Amino acid sequence: MHWRRALLAGGWLYAAAIVWLSLTPSPSDPGFDYGDKVQHFLAYALLMVWFGLLYRNPKPRVAYGVLWIGMGMALEFAQAMTGYRSFELADMAANALGVLAGAAAALSLPRAAAAAGKETP
């Protein structure tokens, strides 16, 4: 069961990295139009997939989904208060859509893996 603790710790470290990257004065520039929105979407999708796969029960999955959406919203407000980052509703939307996509992936990946396992000889 130690692996589960390690995976949980890794997920929380990843969440902490999102917080740090969201508040750093020098965010990365992906180099293409709307690239920051893609970064937001992917970061939150991966975060939700990570925690969604660790829990089979719907209650913790929903709780984490609400937590990550709330975190994305709170970080946007925090960015507005920094003086060097900006508040963007589009970033909030990308975060929330990422969480929803991650939740859908966390639900469908185990089913797809099980189906694939049944098809192999």
End-to-end CA distance of the chain: 31
Residue 23's pLDDT band (cuts 50, 70, 90) = very high
For residue 111, how many C-alpha atoms fall within 13 Å in the half-sphere facing its CB?
A: 5
CA 15/CA 48 separation, integer angstroms: 10
Q: What is the pLDDT, as a whole number, of residue 81? A: 96
Whether 52 contacts 107, CB under 8 Å: yes
Rounded-to-5 percentages of helix, strand, coil across the chain = 80, 0, 20
64-101 in b/e burial notation, b at 16+ Cβ within 10 A? bbebbbebbeebbeebeeeeebeeeeebbebbbbbbbb
Q: What is the pLDDT of residues 88-112, one digit of tens each?
A: 999 999 999 999 999 999 999 877 7
What lies within 8 Å, CB to CB, of 15 at 6+ separation is: 47, 68, 71
pLDDT 10s digits, 50-86: 999 999 899 999 999 999 999 999 999 999 999 999 9
* pLDDT the model gives residue 111: 78
**CA–CA distance, 51 with 74 (Å, rounded to integer):** 20
Give the model's pLDDT for residue 120.
Answer: 53
pLDDT in the model for residue 121: 56
Q: Against a cut of 0.95, is the pTM above it?
A: no
